[in-house]
Amino acid sequence: MRLDLNKYLRLVCPQADGALVVSARSIYILPTGFGLVYAVLLLLLLIGSINYANNLGFLLTFFLTALGLIAMVHTWRNLVGLRLRCGRPDPVFSGRTASFPFYIEATGSRLRPDIELLYSHIAIDACDAGPGQENRLNLTLTLSKRGRFVLDRCVVRSRYPLALFRAWTYVQPEVQCLVYPRPLSWTPQALVSAEADPGNGMARRDVSGTDYHGLREYRPGDPLKTIHWKSYAKGQELMALEFETPTASDLWLSWDAVPGPDMESRLGQLCHAVLDAAAGNLRFGLRLPGKTLPADDSPHHVDDCLRALALFGLES
Amino acid sequence: MNSTLESVIHQASSIVLGKERVIKLSLACLLAKGHLLIEDVPGVGKTTLAHALAHLLGLEYRRLQFTSDLLPADVIGVSIFDRNSGEFRFHRGPVFSQVLLADEINRATPKAQSALLEAMEERQVSLEGTTHPLPEPFFVIATQNPGFQIGTYPLPESQLDRFLMRVDIGFPDRQAERALLKGEDRRKLLSRMTPVMTPARLSEAQRLAGSIHASDAIYDYCQSLLAYTRSSDRFYHGLSPRAGVGLLNAARAWALIGGRDMVLPEDIQAVLPSVAAHRLQGGTDAETGGESLVRHLIKSVPLP
Amino acid sequence: MSANPRKIPLLDPLQRPLQRYQELRFLVFFGMAASPHLFILDEVFSWTFFALLIYRVIAVFHSRLLPSRPLLLVLTLAFLILFFFRVERILGAQGGISLLLVMAGLKLLEIRRRRDLYFSVLLGFFTVITVFLHEDSPPVALLMLAAVIGMISILVESSRIAGPACRLFDLRQAAILSLQALPIALVLFLLFPRLNAPLWSFNLGEKTARTGLSDSITPGSISQLVLSSEVAFRVLFDGPIPPPRERYWRGPVLWRTDGLNWTRSPQMMAPAQEVPMGLRVADYRIFLQPSENPWLILLDLPASAPDGSVLSRDFQVLTQTPVSALRRYQARSFTSFSPLGIDPMQQRLGLQLPSNVTPRMRALVAGWRSGAASPAQIVQKALVHFNQQPFVYSLRPPLLGNSPIDEFLFETRRGFCEHYATSFTLLMRLAGIPSRLVTGYQGGELNPQGDYLLVRQSDAHAWSEVWLPDRGWVRVDPTGAVAPERIERPLDIDAALGEGESALFVIEGSGLFRAFGRNIRWGLDALNLSWQRWIIGYDQSRQRDFLSHMGLGWVDQRLLSALAFGLAGIVFLILFAYLRRQGRERPDPLAKAYGRFCRRLAGIGISREGHEGPLDFERRVLSKRPDLAPEVAPIIGSYVGLAYGRSSPEGIDRLVKRIDAFWPRRRS
């Protein structure tokens, strides 16, 4: 049976305005390995000073002892009152690196050097936080599992100024990152099942389209560059070029259309298809078992589709 | 100056009944040199409000109804071939006015919309290689219908950011509606009114609004608000620096209207819904509207 | 729902490579810490170390010069072998220190990463204390202080992430840390119990020749000393300082002579049995420089022996072990006293004659004896002889042969105090008057800046004591008969040398410049004395003095250590509280007052929301308690003006007063 020590930890949790403020009580402090060696050195110096009754030796020994104590206070003070704010990470595809930005705010008027950010015992980023600059730590994690990744407890640590002590605090930012499925490329022969929506094959005609369609009579307000000068030169009426903007038929990306074989690879293939469709500026819809997203071509739509794929089968 | 502004508000609210707060917000928007977007269902007095403001401020006013076949040239003007002289002459579009009421802006195609919005941003029009500056002052008061109706092109976020404020008018309360029903036609009433201000007075008022004192505590508060929208999960993305500048300017104008020579947190909170709601979207989870997000924002960020 | 994240770790700060300026900075400070060893250690090792240091400095700019690990190993072995060949010449702990220093030099070649730097800094601290074992002068201590602060700044620098924001940031931080550490260090230093005996005996190999008195005299031995301006001791008188003619500082007393060499008598080194009655008493404290001699110097005539020493039968003050560190003692002397008796042993020793007494000498003495009625008259005649015959006081007497006293008396007649004293003593013995030779110091320079006497090795002197039946042992200084100014005022080497002969420490220039130079010397020396009183010489007895001065005389050693750590703890807590306050943002008085105002309103059930602005709050308060309007409205009004408008200190004061007077009551 394992004792759950975690519930005894003093965690720094977000305040009402979302800031993580390191309080005095939540800081842990212990000597580093170097600090222990330093203590051994102090002991040696003390023994030497006593033995030779060397007063300058005493002075040096006691000075270094006091220095160690003062350094401990400074290490502690380097963390206390620190305000962190965890920003939103952008969603990532599985297997890619998500970056959780931590902004250090309100450091006061003094520099707080050596603020390190650790995630499960590994230092990820560090900076010297000071006033009048952007103090940002990036917690970069490579996320491999599709779904909603909830950031666990992080550690904020400092060893400033003499590295004799390390002070740390556990922070629990309430932040999560959406992990999309990893896009799997596949031969899109099955895309033939993309259905055309009847009545959607109309095109809009305009002077401002892309594909040339024909000539029409000049209307006031038509841009000069669209005027068909040739015909005007022939003494005919002013004519304007007319272009047409094709409105493609809606593409439907469907669960049944991708080869599979299992759920995760289907999601990956659909993800790839969504990205392809978005890259081609296509108007598309997504059909998943139990969920259908109607055809659209707005940027939001891509996000919505990817989110649906990321959370498929994980949340109701 | 205060009495002048009060008189503008007083007279405007005698036209648009029972909507003093909306009038004040709109006026604050104009004093902060921002463009205004009014969003509401048809028939609540959007046009009347815009008209009344323009009239009382003594500004030249034009109205442009946006439709799906509106071309950019219909907004900014056109070079027309003059058969007699054999050359093209630039005919100024409706955008060359001090106040442009862009009615139902979301009915026009994105092309026409962006033509207007570019003019709004740069305060000039470039056509066929020549640049035509827009008059000073220049305001766009746009209206749009809420909801995604068929055949509308909702303004993209990047365009929405160019409007300093978005207000909704809402239905009048019972008493105001009674007065409305009893009273004369609003348009006739308006035509009888005399302008309270002149463009010169207006630019002086704008200058005055810009000089309203904002203390460090106010800057802190503003920054905390912005930082919160940028880091909290509740918001899809944070407020832009432009929104921050606009927020402070609007709060200054609001303080001027309130007769103070300094910005208070209340001023920020008063203009925040109008300034921020149309720029904010709910985050990944909460599909909440802009207004509730702003309420959450105000409640979450304590005063410094 | 948590996925399995893979972390992308940061390069451990300790493993980061060093930048050029970091390496250079460290090498400079380490060199500073080790530099005194150039003058202390065996030159092979100290020069090896500095050669390695300089090589390392060059390698900062050409990193390929750094040796590989195998080569370093070979080098280490080579130095170890060299060490064992050389170690026999080096005494005691010096060997260890030499080895340490060379190994430190090799370690320097290994510094590549921050981790190496950390441990090298510890090595640097250790080097500093090895310097302190040999050198304790204030300039060296200052140099070491600078080196230690420099090395602290290296630790500060290494613990930061980014490069140098400001070049002086780390040094400034190191200085701040040091200043904050100082109070605790001083408390521990003053109160940490001192032991009198070492934990274990370990020869430091300190037996270097020091200039000073020795326990025997040959003609010419004191004139060596006279050329040394080294300080012998300093004296602080509790009362008035005795006049120059009484400033005879007693050292070894010599009885036995072979005509060339004078030595002490072991019989006379037994503890004194009788002490004369003092007529005039002087109390004083002496700070004796290490002399490596087993005696103390006191003003003639010592009344008692200081702690840890013995007063001998001929009034030398003897110690068990040689004085190898600065020694401080309280002493009492009689400048005038009742007649001292003589015992048979002294009678015998005081008349002992060498074998090389010549007939000329006997004839001279016989001439005096015939014309004198009492021994006192013989003494008088001898002094007159020295005074009237062409005797010359000279620091450069001609060389003397096998019978030096005879040659001096009748041929060369040029000599220094020891010539006069030895020949006078011998002549008195020939006349049947018991006599002995006393060595010590005479005179001393009064330092007006510290109000103490400074006695240098150049004040070394020798004189005679004769026993007269009615007056006891009497001091007779024959040098005074030849050169009375030698007694009345400090020896002026310039004058004494005469004839344009050069001395080692002539101060050039006019009298004014000389006075100025002397003033500076005095000032420095006064500083030196306080340094020695409070830092170097702060031993157990001094600590006890300090404690009793503070009214803590009853504290024993064990309690003292508790007191030391307790008081250091209290000082630490005070510093901690100070640093904590300093770390916090200073709360603005306005915000504090407004907070108080809000808390008082919360006390009656109206609490402000975090986001609620002052006007909104006022409105809510007044809607609940309209009766408070006369008090609340002006408070909010002026708060708004001060917090969001342009604030003025007077306005804040007024508002604070108003809020302090605001005590809302619950509605009954």
Of A127, A149, A180, the residue that ends a domain is: A180
The answer to whether C615 contacts chain B (CB < 8 Å) is yes
- How many other C-beta atoms lie within 10 A of the C-beta of residue B59? 21
Specify the pLDDT at position B247.
Answer: 93
The highest-confidence range among C174-183, C348-357, C555-564, by mean pLDDT, is C174-183
pLDDT greater than 70 at residue B207: yes
A169 and A114 part of one domain:
yes
Q: What is the mean pLDDT of residues C240-268?
A: 86
ipTM of this predicted structure = 0.85
Mean pLDDT of B265-272: 92
pLDDT in tens, C56-96: 999 888 878 888 888 888 988 888 887 777 766 555 567 77
- The pLDDT tens digits of the residues spanning B139-190 come to 888 888 776 566 677 777 777 888 899 888 888 888 888 888 887 777 778 7
Percent over 70 (pLDDT), chain C: 86
Enumerate the H helices of B57-185 as residue ranges.
Answer: 72-76, 110-122, 157-160, 174-182
pLDDT tens-place string over residues A114-124: 888 988 888 88
- Please report the pLDDT score of residue C494 as a whole number: 39
Residue whose structure tokens are 């993580």: A20
Burial class of residue A97 (count of CB atoms within 10 Å of its CB; 0-12, 13-18, 19+): middle
Distance from CA of A282 to the nearest CA of B (A): 18
C350 has which bridge partners?
none
pLDDT-derived band at A165 (thresholds 50, 70, 90) equals very high
The answer as to whether A305 is a domain residue is yes
Q: Tally B–C CB contacts below 8 A.
A: 44
Burial of A146-170, coded b for 16+ CB within 10 Å and e otherwise, reads bbbbebeebbbbbbbbbbbbbbbbb
pLDDT of residue C381: 87
Among the partner residues A66, A113, A114, nearest to C181 by beta-carbon distance: A66
pLDDT average, residue stretch C17-33? 88
What is the average per-residue pLDDT within A96-121?
83
pLDDT recorded at residue C630: 87
The answer to whether the CB atoms of C165 and A57 lie below 8 A apart is: no
Cα separation of A310 and A93, whole Å?
9
Domain count, chain A: 3
Highest mean pLDDT among B125-139, C159-173, C413-427: C413-427
Judge if A258 and A240 occupy the same domain. no
Partner C contacted by A99 (CB < 8 A): no
Can you tell me the mean pLDDT for A53-76?
93
Q: What is the pLDDT of residue A221?
A: 61
* pLDDT at A27 (0 to 100): 93
Q: In the prediction, which pLDDT does B19 show?
A: 85
Average pLDDT along chain C: 81
- The confidence band for C97, taking pLDDT boundaries of 50, 70 and 90, is confident
Band (pLDDT 50/70/90 cuts) for residue C196 is low
Q: What DSSP designation does C212 have? A: S
How many whole angstroms separate alpha carbon B289 and alpha carbon C6?
36
**Chain B residue with Cα closest to C642:** B215
Which pLDDT score, from 0 to 100, does residue C668 have?
A: 60
A46 band by pLDDT with thresholds 50, 70 and 90: very high
- pLDDT for residue A208 is more than 60: no
Which of C585, C608, C611, C636 has the most B C-beta neighbours within 10 Å, making it the best mutation to test the interface with B? C611
Q: Which residue has the higher pLDDT, C452 or B232?
A: C452
B262–C612 CB contact, under 8 Å = no
**Mean pLDDT value across residues A147-173:** 90
Any residues with CB less than 8 A from the CB of B168 and at least 6 apart, and which?
B22, B38, B39, B40, B146
Q: How high is the pLDDT of residue A44?
A: 92
**Residue C611 touches chain B, beta carbons under 8 Å:** yes
* Residues of chain B found within 8 Å of residue A85, distances taken between Cβ atoms: 227, 231
- Residue A198 touches chain B, beta carbons under 8 Å: no
Residue range C190-213: mean pLDDT, rounded: 59
Which among B35, B12, B31 is positioned nearest to B22, based on CA atoms?
B12
Helix (H) or strand (E) run with residue B129 in it: none
At residue C264, the pLDDT reads 87
Q: What is the pLDDT of residue C3?
A: 45
Most confident residue range from A6-20, A22-36, B229-243: A22-36
pLDDT tens profile C433-477: 999 999 888 888 787 777 788 888 878 888 999 998 888 888 888
CA distances to B261, C242, C475 from C462, rounded to whole Å, are 95, 19, 11
Subunits adjacent to chain C (3 or more Cβ pairs under 8 Å): A, B
Closest by Cβ to C161, choosing from A59, A114, A120: A114
Helix pair C169-191, C557-583: axis angle to 10 deg: 150
pLDDT of residue A135: 83
- The string of DSSP letters for B200-243 reads HHHHHHHHHHHT-B--HHHHHHHHHHHHHHHH-TTBSSPPPHHH
- Do A13 and A111 lie in a common domain? yes
Say whether both A225 and A283 belong to one domain. Answer: no
pLDDT for the residue A9: 79
Mutation target among A83, A88, A150 for the B interface, most CBs of B within 10 A: A88
Delimit the domains of chain B by residue range: 2-69+95-203, 211-300
What is the reported pLDDT for C206?
41
B117 vs B113: CA distance, rounded Å: 6
Asked whether residue A13 falls in the same domain as residue A124, the answer is: yes
Whether residue B93 contacts residue B56, with contact meaning beta carbons closer than 8 Å, is answered with no
Residue of chain B with shortest Cα separation from C644: B215
Q: Which of residues 638-657 of C touch B (CB under 8 A)?
A: 640-641, 643-647
Which range, A62-66, B60-64, C354-358, is most confident?
A62-66
Place of tokens 């003062």: A70
pLDDT band at C174; cut points 50, 70, 90: very high
Question: Residue C159 and residue A116: Cβ atoms within 8 Å?
Answer: no
Q: What is the pLDDT of residue C134?
A: 81
A232 vs A204, residue with greater confidence: A232
User: Over the stretch C486-514, which tens digit does the pLDDT of each residue have?
Assistant: 554 444 443 443 333 333 333 344 456 66
**Does residue B163 belong to the interface with chain A, where contact is any CB pair within 8 Å?**
no
pLDDT value at position C182? 94
Architecture category of domain B2-69+95-203 in CATH: 3-Layer(aba) Sandwich (3.40)
A203 pLDDT tier (thresholds 50, 70, 90): very low
Contact (Cβ atoms closer than 8 angstroms) between residue C37 and residue C132: no
Q: Tell which residue, A191, A178, A195, has the closest CA to residue A274.
A: A191
Q: Residue A316: what pLDDT?
A: 53
Question: In which domain, by residue range, is A296 found?
Answer: 188-199+248-311
**Is A146 a member of any domain?**
yes
| A189–chain C Cβ distance below 8 A for any pair | no
Q: Is A85 on the interface with B (CB under 8 A)?
A: yes
> Which residues of C are identified as catalytic?
417, 461, 477
C3 vs A144: CB contact, 8 Å cut-off? Answer: yes
Confirm or reject contact between A301 and chain B (CB < 8 A).
Answer: no
Other CB atoms within a 10 A radius of the CB of residue B235 amount to: 23
Residues of C in contact with A125 (CB under 8 A): 10
> Which subunits count as partners of chain B given 3+ CB pairs below 8 Å?
A, C
* Percentage above 70 pLDDT, chain B: 95
- Using a CB-CB distance cutoff of 8 angstroms, which residues of chain C are in contact with residue A140? 8
Please state the rounded mean pLDDT for residues C103-112: 86
**pLDDT at residue A75, as a whole number:** 94
pLDDT on residue C203: 43
Give residue A197's pLDDT band: very low, low, confident or very high (50, 70, 90). Answer: very low
User: Which pLDDT belongs to residue A202?
Assistant: 44
Q: Are residues A162 and A303 in the same domain?
A: no
A40 is a domain residue: yes
3-state secondary structure string, chain A? Answer: CCCCHHHHCCEECCCCCCCEECCHHHCEEEECHHHHHHHHHHHHHHHHHHHCCCHHHHHHHHHHHHHHHHHHHHHHHHHCCCEEEECCCCCEECCCEEEEEEEEECCCCCCEEEEEEEECCEEEEEEEECCCCCCEEEEEEEECCCEEEECCCEEEEECCCCCCEEEEEEECCCCEEEEECCCCCCCHHHHHHCCCCCCCCCEEEECCCCEEEEEEECCCCCCHHHECHHHHHCCCCCEEEEEEEECCCCEEEEHHHCCCCCHHHHHHHHHHHHHHHHHCCCCEEEEECCEEEEEECCHHHHHHHHHHHHHCCCCC
pLDDT average, residue stretch C656-667: 84
Token pair for residue C88?
Answer: 């026999």
pLDDT band at A194 (very low <50, low <70, confident <90, very high): very low
Using the predicted structure, report yes or no on whether residue A201 has a pLDDT greater than 50.
Answer: no
* CATH H-level, domain B211-300: superfamily: Magnesium chelatase subunit I, C-Terminal domain (1.10.8.80)
Of residues C269 and C434, which shows the higher confidence score?
A: C434
How confident is the model at residue A196, as a pLDDT? 42
Domains B2-69+95-203 and B211-300 share a fold: no
